[in-house]
Structure 1
């Protein structure tokens, strides 16, 4: 039977947090209370500013307390870090120390969107499974190799829980509601949200390759999947074609017909997109970024990067920084 004491969630709203993941996390709790007729869940909002938090679209949300509040997070409570843009800037000493105190006090620790970056910075995801928005995946993996990172919509590892962002928060909360109140009520909450498919921790974040490229061609999808899985050590177009059971000329025609570019060009653009994410989200050196994106020569990397983005990696790093992690 569910406990008569509401399970309390404390949402830590960081500056420039993204509104959708936060709303998608708190609304299922409200609807679960409404559907059951019992306040099984309660929540409060805290933040570094203490009075209001401003999200990435400029909207302000009134907070219940600051981090110096005398009302501590209790054992069994759940802390959810709500992150957003320029997330590395929010890894301040007061925020990290506050999170560590709550974890030592026995609270479960969670995050939505880029909030996982802050939990990792606090050392609270070391040796744990976690996820983060796909756009931040590569930068996070390089910055926090001690975290077992997944590309699923959410991950629940004991008293650690992370959701990738967007509507993934709904799926994480429905999972938690199901653990407390069962599947029938959870389905009722999902219906209220018009959430017609409840995703599990096995579902991946991104659309399938055919949906993303707008083409349903099995061989083309297979080749692109292999490209995306081998960015650090690129596979030659001839080998990709052979492994897909076609000639190099057939592969060339396939890419030209459906994507209006050669396989080599498509592969290059995919690798450079990864490089750009790493430049913006990590403190990796230019040569490290080049190697991680399949370029053995920094000069060749710089030339290709400039041709695609109109700026060199050095200038990009100068105008951006790791503080831009989380441009979601």
Structure 2
């Protein structure tokens, strides 16, 4: 006692993901009347770190200073996949050889995966990064759980899921009663377990409760790479295509084709920003029949081309390789 859980804060880390974990431990100490946990803070170079919200946090030391700990968690946020730091990779492998428990919160599973620290382990990541992470590391066992604890690895989707991760840890180590008291202090109405959904339910997200419409949208979200024809979506929902059109117009103020296209374009944007996939591969992964069609749809919706989204050189005018390429990438029987 106390158990020390070190946090390595990376540039532009998620403040809520970090604070949610720390505050759970702080409150556990307070309610227990003794120090059950401590949370020393570290950065790559020992200098203060600025979170994605612009708040700067001082730390206790650099990576070398954290080497004596038995449990450490990386915390990151925006653009973590762009971070290249050989010291961090070497340090993670050294910590693993020492038998440390290694954790990653929010988008930090990217860093464990890059260092080979998630091979053979179940892991999770924030839902917004899930598609890109799966594309980058297709051989990993990635789930969409709130958090995963697999032997000496723990990963967490971030946000307030960090609170639930620590509440479950507190319950396992010091009893459910203490964990419930901590949750009550934060007006957290229940302690979610790892199998709770990361995202709000479709009815809550869309403000729609029509069961047939929701079933169609669920099928759309699960079939972005190979879009389903409108006739099939309607048939499987027990609707005519005309009824399907009316439902989308009434509740979502757009046609089914338009709604499906927007889903695919939003997925494409995440892949462009979070992975190193080529623009053509992104188009394929989001169900577009040609590169030129993808580029045109993307520019019409977001006001910039896919190449400009990434800030690639030569993107101020036309996307030469996309907008002049009329050869279909793949024949997809969807509403592209």
TM-score range, shorter chain: over 0.9
Q: Which runs of 4+ in 1 moved over 2 A?
A: 71-74, 88-91, 317-320
Distance 1:197 1:280 in 2: 34
User: Match for 2:86 among 87, 90, 93?
Assistant: 93
One of 44, 57, 61 as aligned partner of 1:61: 57
Q: For the residues of structure 1 that align with 2:101 and 2:291, how far apart are their CA atoms?
A: 44
Determine the structure 2 residue equivalent to 1:37. 33
Q: How far did residue 25 of structure 1 move?
A: 0.7
1:124 is paired with a residue whose SS is coil
How far does the alpha carbon of each residue in 1:55-81 deviate from its partner, in whole angstroms, 9 at most, with x for none?
Answer: 111111110111132x6334xx22111
Q: How does 1:130-145 map to 2 (within 5 A)?
A: 130-145=123-138
* Whole-Å separation in 2 of the counterparts to 1:73 and 1:146: 31
Identify the structure with bigger relative contact order (alpha carbons < 8 Å, sequence gap 6+): 1
Of the candidates 7, 18, 24, which is equivalent to residue 20 of structure 2?
24
Instruction: Report the Cα offset of residue 84 of structure 1.
Output: 1.1
Paired residues of 1:73 and 1:107 also in contact (CA < 8 A): no
State the Cα distance separating 1:201 from its structure 2 match.
0.8
Q: Distance in 2 between matches of 1:103 and 1:195?
A: 34
Tell me, in whole angstroms, the C-alpha distance in 1 between the residues paired with 2:185 and 2:172: 19
What corresponds to 1:180 in structure 2?
173
Deviation at 1:319, TM superposition (A): 4.9
Correspondence for 2:330: none
Q: Does 1:13 align with 2:13?
A: no
Shift of 1:283: 0.8
Unaligned runs of 5+ in 2: 314-336
- Show the counterpart of 1:152: 145
Contact 2:146 2:161 (8 Å CA) reproduced: yes
Deviations 1:158-183 (A, max 9, x none): 21111111101000001111110111
Evaluate the alpha carbon distance shift between residue 35 and residue 91 of structure 1 in structure 2; reply closer, same or farther with a 3 A threshold: farther
Q: Identify which range, 259-268 or 188-197, moves more after superposition.
A: 188-197
Name structure 1 gaps, 5 residues minimum. 321-328
- Deviations along 1:76-114, one digit per CA (max 9) or x if unpaired, are x22111101121233311112112211211111111111
Question: Separation in 2 of the partners of 1:158 and 1:239?
Answer: 44
2:235 corresponds to which residue?
A: 242
Shift of 1:314: 2.2
Once the two structures are TM-superposed, the CA of residue 266 in structure 1 deviates from its matched residue by 0.3
1:279 and 2:275 matched: no
Map 1:167-206 → 2, pairs under 5 A:
167-206=160-199
CA contact 1:127–1:146 (8 Å) conserved in 2: no
Q: Distance in 1 between matches of 2:89 and 2:119?
A: 14
Bigger shift: residues 8-17 or 310-319: 310-319
Number of matched pairs: 313
Give the 5 Å matches for 1:72-111: 72-74=67-69, 77-111=70-104
The answer to whether the Cα contact below 8 Å between 2:81 and 2:275 also exists between their aligned partners in 1 is no
